[in-house]
Protein backbone atom coordinates (compact mmCIF):
# COMPACT_ATOMS: atom_id res chain seq x y z
CA UNK A 1 0.00 0.00 0.00
CA UNK A 2 1.28 3.44 -0.86
CA UNK A 3 1.30 6.30 1.65
CA UNK A 4 -1.64 8.62 1.24
CA UNK A 5 -2.03 12.34 1.83
CA UNK A 6 -5.01 14.22 3.18
CA UNK A 7 -7.87 14.91 0.80
CA UNK A 8 -8.10 18.31 -0.85
CA UNK A 9 -10.53 20.87 0.53
CA UNK A 10 -14.06 21.01 -0.84
CA UNK A 11 -14.98 23.49 -3.55
CA UNK A 12 -17.91 25.85 -3.41
CA UNK A 13 -20.94 24.80 -5.43
CA UNK A 14 -24.12 26.48 -6.62
CA UNK A 15 -24.87 30.15 -7.15
CA UNK A 16 -23.79 31.26 -3.67
CA UNK A 17 -20.27 32.72 -3.96
CA UNK A 18 -17.58 31.35 -1.65
CA UNK A 19 -14.96 33.44 0.13
CA UNK A 20 -12.99 33.95 -3.10
CA UNK A 21 -16.07 35.35 -4.85
CA UNK A 22 -16.83 37.74 -1.99
CA UNK A 23 -13.26 39.00 -1.92
CA UNK A 24 -13.31 39.64 -5.65
CA UNK A 25 -16.66 41.44 -5.40
CA UNK A 26 -15.24 43.76 -2.74
CA UNK A 27 -12.22 44.57 -4.91
CA UNK A 28 -9.76 42.72 -2.69
CA UNK A 29 -7.42 39.99 -3.98
CA UNK A 30 -8.62 36.51 -3.21
CA UNK A 31 -6.66 34.89 -0.36
CA UNK A 32 -4.22 32.20 -1.35
CA UNK A 33 -5.53 28.68 -0.90
CA UNK A 34 -4.01 27.00 2.13
CA UNK A 35 -2.97 23.43 1.32
CA UNK A 36 -4.23 20.77 3.70
CA UNK A 37 -1.67 19.54 6.25
CA UNK A 38 0.35 16.48 5.24
CA UNK A 39 -0.78 13.24 6.84
CA UNK A 40 0.62 9.76 7.35
CA UNK A 41 -1.70 6.76 7.07
CA UNK A 42 -0.83 4.17 9.71
CA UNK A 43 -2.48 1.37 11.66
CA UNK A 44 -4.28 2.46 14.81
CA UNK A 45 -1.81 2.04 17.70
CA UNK A 46 -4.63 0.67 19.89
CA UNK A 47 -4.61 -2.54 17.88
CA UNK A 48 -7.99 -2.12 16.22
CA UNK A 49 -6.47 -2.78 12.78
CA UNK A 50 -8.05 0.39 11.38
CA UNK A 51 -6.04 2.87 9.30
CA UNK A 52 -5.87 6.35 10.76
CA UNK A 53 -4.33 9.64 9.67
CA UNK A 54 -1.51 11.18 11.68
CA UNK A 55 0.13 14.61 11.18
CA UNK A 56 3.38 14.49 9.19
CA UNK A 57 6.13 17.01 9.89
CA UNK A 58 9.80 17.74 9.48
CA UNK A 59 10.80 15.67 12.52
CA UNK A 60 9.17 12.57 11.01
CA UNK A 61 11.11 13.12 7.78
CA UNK A 62 14.41 13.69 9.60
CA UNK A 63 14.07 10.60 11.80
CA UNK A 64 13.05 8.43 8.84
CA UNK A 65 16.04 9.58 6.78
CA UNK A 66 18.37 8.84 9.69
CA UNK A 67 17.08 5.24 9.67
CA UNK A 68 16.78 4.99 5.88
CA UNK A 69 18.90 1.85 5.43
CA UNK A 70 16.98 -0.31 7.88
CA UNK A 71 13.59 1.12 6.85
CA UNK A 72 14.36 0.50 3.18
CA UNK A 73 15.25 -3.11 3.95
CA UNK A 74 11.97 -3.59 5.79
CA UNK A 75 9.95 -2.04 2.95
CA UNK A 76 11.84 -4.06 0.32
CA UNK A 77 11.07 -7.23 2.29
CA UNK A 78 7.36 -6.45 1.99
CA UNK A 79 6.55 -4.82 5.32
CA UNK A 80 3.65 -2.41 4.64
CA UNK A 81 4.30 1.33 5.09
CA UNK A 82 1.29 1.70 7.36
CA UNK A 83 2.83 -0.73 9.88
CA UNK A 84 4.60 2.13 11.69
CA UNK A 85 4.96 5.88 11.66
CA UNK A 86 8.63 5.69 10.59
CA UNK A 87 7.88 3.27 7.73
CA UNK A 88 5.06 5.51 6.54
CA UNK A 89 7.32 8.59 6.66
CA UNK A 90 10.11 6.80 4.77
CA UNK A 91 7.68 5.46 2.18
CA UNK A 92 6.30 8.96 1.62
CA UNK A 93 9.83 10.19 0.92
CA UNK A 94 10.69 7.26 -1.36
CA UNK A 95 7.71 7.60 -3.70
CA UNK A 96 8.35 11.33 -4.27
CA UNK A 97 9.40 12.00 -7.88
CA UNK A 98 12.53 13.86 -6.75
CA UNK A 99 13.75 10.84 -4.75
CA UNK A 100 12.97 8.47 -7.60
CA UNK A 101 14.77 10.67 -10.14
CA UNK A 102 17.87 10.82 -7.93
CA UNK A 103 17.86 7.03 -7.57
CA UNK A 104 17.44 6.62 -11.34
CA UNK A 105 20.46 8.90 -11.87
CA UNK A 106 22.50 6.72 -9.48
CA UNK A 107 21.67 3.62 -11.54
CA UNK A 108 22.60 5.43 -14.75
CA UNK A 109 25.90 6.49 -13.16
CA UNK A 110 26.52 2.85 -12.28
CA UNK A 111 26.10 1.86 -15.94
CA UNK A 112 28.63 4.51 -17.01
CA UNK A 113 31.18 3.47 -14.39
CA UNK A 114 30.78 -0.21 -15.29
CA UNK A 115 31.88 0.53 -18.87
CA UNK A 116 35.16 2.09 -17.74
CA UNK A 117 38.27 0.14 -16.76
CA UNK A 118 38.36 -0.67 -13.06
CA UNK A 119 40.36 1.77 -10.94
CA UNK A 120 41.88 0.07 -7.86
CA UNK A 121 41.35 1.56 -4.41
CA UNK A 122 38.21 3.49 -5.38
CA UNK A 123 34.73 2.97 -3.87
CA UNK A 124 33.35 1.58 -7.14
CA UNK A 125 36.27 -0.73 -7.88
CA UNK A 126 34.32 -3.74 -6.61
CA UNK A 127 31.51 -3.44 -9.15
CA UNK A 128 30.89 -6.73 -10.93
CA UNK A 129 31.15 -5.20 -14.38
CA UNK A 130 30.20 -8.33 -16.28
CA UNK A 131 27.00 -8.71 -14.31
CA UNK A 132 26.11 -5.05 -14.81
CA UNK A 133 26.69 -5.37 -18.56
CA UNK A 134 24.46 -8.46 -18.72
CA UNK A 135 21.75 -6.71 -16.69
CA UNK A 136 21.88 -3.40 -18.61
CA UNK A 137 18.54 -3.84 -20.46
CA UNK A 138 16.82 -4.63 -17.17
CA UNK A 139 18.55 -1.72 -15.43
CA UNK A 140 17.38 0.66 -18.16
CA UNK A 141 13.81 -0.57 -17.73
CA UNK A 142 14.14 0.01 -13.98
CA UNK A 143 15.39 3.56 -14.62
CA UNK A 144 12.42 4.23 -16.93
CA UNK A 145 9.94 3.11 -14.30
CA UNK A 146 11.65 5.13 -11.57
CA UNK A 147 11.36 8.27 -13.72
CA UNK A 148 7.73 7.70 -14.74
CA UNK A 149 5.32 10.34 -13.40
CA UNK A 150 2.94 7.66 -12.11
CA UNK A 151 2.09 6.49 -8.59
CA UNK A 152 4.21 3.54 -7.50
CA UNK A 153 4.51 1.43 -4.36
CA UNK A 154 7.27 2.33 -1.93
CA UNK A 155 8.40 -1.30 -1.95
CA UNK A 156 9.72 -1.06 -5.52
CA UNK A 157 11.73 2.09 -4.79
CA UNK A 158 13.07 0.58 -1.58
CA UNK A 159 14.11 -2.58 -3.44
CA UNK A 160 15.95 -0.56 -6.09
CA UNK A 161 17.69 1.51 -3.40
CA UNK A 162 18.63 -1.48 -1.25
CA UNK A 163 20.02 -3.42 -4.22
CA UNK A 164 22.19 -0.48 -5.26
CA UNK A 165 23.70 -0.13 -1.79
CA UNK A 166 24.04 -3.81 -0.84
CA UNK A 167 27.77 -4.48 -0.62
CA UNK A 168 27.15 -8.18 -0.05
CA UNK A 169 24.76 -8.49 -2.98
CA UNK A 170 25.32 -9.49 -6.62
CA UNK A 171 26.25 -5.96 -7.70
CA UNK A 172 29.53 -5.93 -5.76
CA UNK A 173 30.15 -9.37 -4.30
CA UNK A 174 31.56 -11.82 -6.84
CA UNK A 175 30.75 -14.65 -4.45
CA UNK A 176 27.05 -13.82 -4.36
CA UNK A 177 24.89 -16.47 -5.99
CA UNK A 178 22.01 -14.11 -6.57
CA UNK A 179 21.16 -13.16 -10.14
CA UNK A 180 21.53 -9.38 -10.57
CA UNK A 181 19.24 -9.31 -13.61
CA UNK A 182 16.53 -11.18 -11.71
CA UNK A 183 16.82 -8.82 -8.74
CA UNK A 184 16.57 -5.77 -10.99
CA UNK A 185 13.53 -7.22 -12.80
CA UNK A 186 11.87 -7.85 -9.45
CA UNK A 187 12.36 -4.19 -8.47
CA UNK A 188 10.94 -3.10 -11.83
CA UNK A 189 7.87 -5.33 -11.37
CA UNK A 190 7.26 -3.80 -7.97
CA UNK A 191 7.29 -0.37 -9.66
CA UNK A 192 4.53 -1.33 -12.11
CA UNK A 193 1.63 1.03 -11.20
CA UNK A 194 -0.97 -1.58 -12.16
CA UNK A 195 0.60 -4.20 -9.89
CA UNK A 196 0.98 -1.64 -7.10
CA UNK A 197 -2.55 -0.29 -7.17
CA UNK A 198 -4.37 -3.52 -7.94
CA UNK A 199 -2.62 -6.38 -6.11
CA UNK A 200 -3.80 -9.90 -6.94
CA UNK A 201 -6.57 -11.26 -4.78
CA UNK A 202 -6.26 -14.36 -2.57
Q: Which residues contact 124 (CB under 8 A, 6 or more apart)?
A: 110, 113
% of the chain with per-residue pLDDT over 90: 46
Kindly report, residue by residue over 74-94, the tens digit of the pLDDT: 999 999 888 888 888 899 899
Average pLDDT of span 195-199:
54
pLDDT in tens, 27-63: 555 544 544 445 454 434 555 555 444 545 667 678 8
Largest CA distance in the chain: 74
Average pLDDT over residues 153-164: 95
Alpha helix ranges (H) inside 43-153: 58-66, 68-76, 85-94, 97-115, 129-147
Amino acid sequence: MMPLSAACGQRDHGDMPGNHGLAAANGRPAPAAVPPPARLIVHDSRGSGRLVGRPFGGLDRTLARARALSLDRDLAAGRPPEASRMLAARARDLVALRTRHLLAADWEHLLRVARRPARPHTPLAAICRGRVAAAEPDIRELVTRLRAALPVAARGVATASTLLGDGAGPLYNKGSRRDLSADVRQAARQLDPAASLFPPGP
